[in-house]
Structure 1
Amino acid sequence: MRKSLVILLLGLTVAACGTDSGDEHAGHSSTSPVTSSPETSAPATSGASGTVVPQGGTVTVTDADNGRERKLNTGEQLVVRLGSNPSTGYGWQLAGLDQNVVRQSGEKEYVSDQPVLPGTPGTEVWTFVGNAAGVTELRMEYKRPWEQGVEPSKTFTVVLVVV
């Protein structure tokens, strides 16, 4: 009886570890957002994910830019990269933005620091585009979406001046 049990467990272990189809990352994009310096002006092109990259350069902001002011040209892309760990239930949510001045472009993306280890922190990447001349405050909150009436764990604010 013991011998049969050992053989069964050994067989299950081998079966569980035995196949690797090579598509362990299927459905996950490892592409980085298309970036260029703010001084670079180029015609609109298609990015790696099929989205249209607007004419103009790219301005990138991170946690270090919290509370600062950034200049953005009309048609220029703004990439916001903020630390996140979705395994905790927390995520960045857009809390304030004048969409007439700056509009969100596409969906947010999550880039894990260590893709093979679940629960490790990474970066949320949000993309916006300067829509029209003006000033707006981009305000984001790091919180759990199901918790109502609870203060966010963190906030991120940057004043955008679009010319």
Structure 2
Amino acid sequence: MSGTSLRLLSPIAALLLGACSATPSGSGLIVNDDKNCPLKLQSGQTLSLDLVSNPSTGYRWKIEETSGDILKSLGPEVFHSSRKDVVGADGTSTWRFQAIQPGTGRLILSYQRPWENNSEPADLFDCRIEVE
């Protein structure tokens, strides 16, 4: 390999190794839908919930139940647009939680417009959570 190739590969290799060591295996769980429920978590483990959403349509995910005695919120919802170049594009809403003590509960979110309280949600995330 030439010297230029080695100089380019060294920072990339360092980043990849750093990314692998930054999060120990099994310390976090990423969930995109409720098809893999119930979820089993270890006490102290983090849960990242990523749900497709489009706030520009008026629809928002609303947390209905979090089982606060076993899950602790690690911050507010964060929305990431799938396309930065398009105003009103859909994307992903993300919530992060940490399992704080053993027990069972539910994590329930509804997808609806806040002003349409009496209508059925357009979508529902309903998952049983078990913390060991």
Q: TM-score, length-normalised on structure 1? A: 0.64
Query: Which structure has the larger Rg over C-alpha atoms?
Result: 1
Deviation of 1:96 (Å):
1.3
Q: Percent identity?
A: 31
Q: CA deviation at 1:67?
A: 6.5
Moved over 6 A (4+): none
Shift of the 76–93 alpha-carbon distance from structure 1 to 2, 3 Å rule, reads same
Matches for 1:1-163 after TM superposition, within 5 Å = 36=23, 38-39=25-26, 57-63=27-33, 65-66=34-35, 68-163=37-132
Gaps of 5+ in 2: 1-21
List per-residue Cα deviations over 1:24-46 (Å, max 9, x = no partner).
Answer: xxxxxxxxxxx84653xxxxxxx
AA matched with 1:58: G
Counterpart contact for 1:67–1:157, Cα < 8 Å: no
Structure 2 CA distance for partners of 1:137 and 1:67, relative to 1, 3 Å: farther
- Between Structure 1 and Structure 2, the one with more strand by share is 2
Answer 1 or 2: which has greater helix percent: 2
Higher relative contact order (CA 8 A, sep 6+): 2
Tell me the equivalent position of 1:16: none
Q: Which amino acid aligns with 2:32?
A: T
Give the 3 Å change call, closer, same or farther, for CA 89–38 of structure 1 in structure 2: farther
Which structure 1 segments of 5+ residues have no match?
A: 1-34, 40-56
